[in-house]
Structure 1
Amino acid sequence: FVWTFDIWPDAVYAYGFPRIAPLTLFLNHLIRKVYRNSDHILVSSRKFIESIRVYVADRPVTYAPNWLVEETHKVSGVRLDTSRFNFTFAGNISKAQNLENVLLGWAKTRFVIPVALNIIGEGSSLKSLRELVERRSIPNVYFWGRYPSDQVEDILRQSDVLVLPLMADPGIQKTEPFKLQTYLHVGKPIFGIAYGSIQDIVEMNGLGICAAPNHPDEIAAKFQEMVPFAEKCHKEVAERSRMLLLSRFDKEQIISRILSIMSK
């Protein structure tokens, strides 16, 4: 059995692996060998299946996504300003999260109400993002730093909209990021700055609005559309999120599916 959580070679190229021979030939040979020596392949995203079929057409593939990791939650030291409409991103701050385009889009917004963009976390891109905000004088952006995972839910629950961005690379866009389950558990409207898997899940389940990840003008427009959407649909989104966790991302169902395959 192979359980795929990042789709190769797409993800490898996205993080800088050079697309030159003989490296690409070796990588393709390695991937093909792994899949051809597997009896069954599990995938954490449905969009991985099309990429795997390029390497092997006759192996069974089963969707087995991430599930929510339950933990005891604590009150955070972060208290968001309730007089503002709060957009919040929480997670690793790296190139893959595409936060530079998020900030460029945010800089173009023209809200008629007080707003805030809260960024929770640390990572390799944090310094450059702080410099971008300072250099362009982008207003109402708050970097809160890193907080323990058991405090993040409290921060998300104080928010009005949860921001879920990914870089535009095709391999990255096929993933279903782990933070999605946390966002669903909180049950707040989601602004997906992505296409691919995130767009499918968010839009097909009525959880929010999505924008193209490489178009700051569109990101700005959709930021503004999220305000009336969240005010009108927050109760429906909470219920749809709960049902999606129970039907698609339930730990017991996923493990049972895997064990059933193994037993055969």
Structure 2
Amino acid sequence: MKILIVSQYFWPEHFRINDLAITLQQLGNEVSVLTGLPNYPKGHYYQGYSKTKNNDEKWQNISIYRCNMRPRGQGSLQLVRNYLSYAYQAIKKSKILEEQNFDLLYVFGVSPLTSALPAIYLKKKWKIPIILNVQDLWPEYVTAITGLKNSLCVCILDKLMRYIYRSCDKILISSKSYEQSIQRYLGTSSDKIMFWPQYATVEKVAKSKVLFDEMAFHIVFTGNIGEAQGLDIAIETADMLKDFHVQWHFIGTGRYMTKLVAMVKQRKLEKCVIFHGWIPETQVPQYLASADAALLILKDDDVFKMALPAKLQTYMACGVPIVGCVKGESKRILLEAEAGIVTDEISAAGLASVCKQFLTCPKERYDRLCKNALAYGKAHFDKQVLIEQLIKEMRVLKDEHI
């Protein structure tokens, strides 16, 4: 198949769509990507990229077409401009792709879902199907993060999402809890929606471990450091547990990191809270191999109750028991898997309680949690099985549109 991935984010930015694109290409498909100039998360263009040059390139035999979108910059207004400029500029850029005869469009639906608009334009122009992979549930995600209450803005977002969801031929959801929210935009019962969870992009076997302090209990968090994660609670908990020899390791970057670093300095927690920054995904298992537990936390909001963060699959693939401070779908999975200790009291006190349970956990129970995490991940989030499901759906859609 000839597949065009439409995604505001792509390599050298670090998103899971990179792995999917490589995998589809390696399986014999011809994959191209319509994306923007890399600028996430710091908000300025990466070195070597600019609006004044042709930024199209090849990576892993994948053709990348980059539109001249605005960088994220700083502040909400700049972020909105960034979102809208990608949608507009990607449509302009698509003119050079008209003769390529793609079979299918695949939209990687992290925020913003306005990134689906260029794909909808191309669907109507080229008469080919769209698969939308919903990672962040809109408009709920927007209102949760921004606190947006303006009725006119909410109404506009609502109509926009109805248009986007109804324009897609297949909607992949990373959490089963998303289905009801999306279904209301489709109007009638539909087979458009398919549960397709994220898979782990790391392997359990680590060639080596990262050397941590042997005297401490180590909790590792990996992934985006943004507002949705509620990591300020983790810093407060670190302060509460600073006499319990607990060390916290944060791996990743994001817009919220500056605030967390300031909190750590203000509370003088530098010895028990360590920010490792971004590391290559291939090295993540080395950190998790040295972890006593992995942290899964989300803010206390209805939209995050429905979410199933991709880091959960990574933790399970590495056989690490999970410190859960979550509600809803994530809590349900952790309890079903018996892969960690979880509280739905989203507070420093709630998280501290779970950590203390880990500190006194009998070895037999601890080993069982590790084993359960690995087994559940393999049974439910296996990469090969999920990729086969996706390719099957792609072929069905392609054949229906011939």
Q: Per the shorter chain, which TM-score range? A: 0.7 to 0.9
Counterpart position of 1:20? 150
- Deviates most, 180-189 or 130-139: 130-139
**SS of residue matched to 2:185:** coil
- Deviates most, 223-232 or 91-100: 223-232
The superposition leaves residues 61-114 of structure 1 with CA deviations (integer Å, 9 ceiling, x where unpaired) of 2210111224796647x4211221111112222212211011112322376x53
- Aligned 1:1-264 pairs, distance under 5 A: 1-16=131-146, 18-56=148-186, 57-60=188-191, 61-70=193-202, 75=208, 78-109=210-241, 114-138=245-269, 140-212=272-344, 214-229=346-361, 231-262=363-394, 263=396
Report the AA paired with residue 276 of structure 2: W
How many residues are matched? 262
The superposition leaves residues 18-59 of structure 1 with CA deviations (integer Å, 9 ceiling, x where unpaired) of 331322111111211222334432211111012112222321
CA distance in 2, matches of 1:4, 1:215: 28
How big is the shift at 1:130? 2.1
Contact 1:105 1:217 in 2 (8 A): yes
Contact 1:101 1:213 in 2 (8 A): no
Counterpart position of 2:78? none
CA distance in 1, matches of 2:266, 2:175: 38
**SS of residue matched to 1:93:** coil
CA gap of 1:37–1:119, structure 2 versus 1, over 3 A, is closer
CA distance in 2, matches of 1:30, 1:230: 52
TM-score calculated relative to the size of structure 2? 0.59
- Higher Cα Rg: structure 1 or 2? 2
How big is the shift at 1:205? 1.0
What residue ranges of structure 2 are gaps of 5+ in the alignment? 1-130, 398-402
CA distance in 1, matches of 2:223, 2:168: 33
**SS of residue matched to 2:219:** strand
CA distance in 1, matches of 2:161, 2:144: 16
Contact 1:85 1:116 in 2 (8 A): yes
Contact 1:75 1:154 in 2 (8 A): yes
Contact 1:2 1:41 in 2 (8 A): yes
| Higher RCO (CA-CA < 8 Å; seq separation 6+) | 1
- Aligned CA-pair RMSD: 2.5
**SS of residue matched to 1:202:** helix
What residue ranges of structure 1 are gaps of 5+ in the alignment? none
**SS of residue matched to 1:41:** strand
How big is the shift at 1:144? 2.7
Counterpart position of 2:126? none
Report the AA paired with residue 46 of structure 1: K
CA gap of 1:12–1:213, structure 2 versus 1, over 3 A, is farther
CA distance in 1, matches of 2:285, 2:374: 15
CA distance in 1, matches of 2:172, 2:257: 34
CA distance in 2, matches of 1:160, 1:131: 26
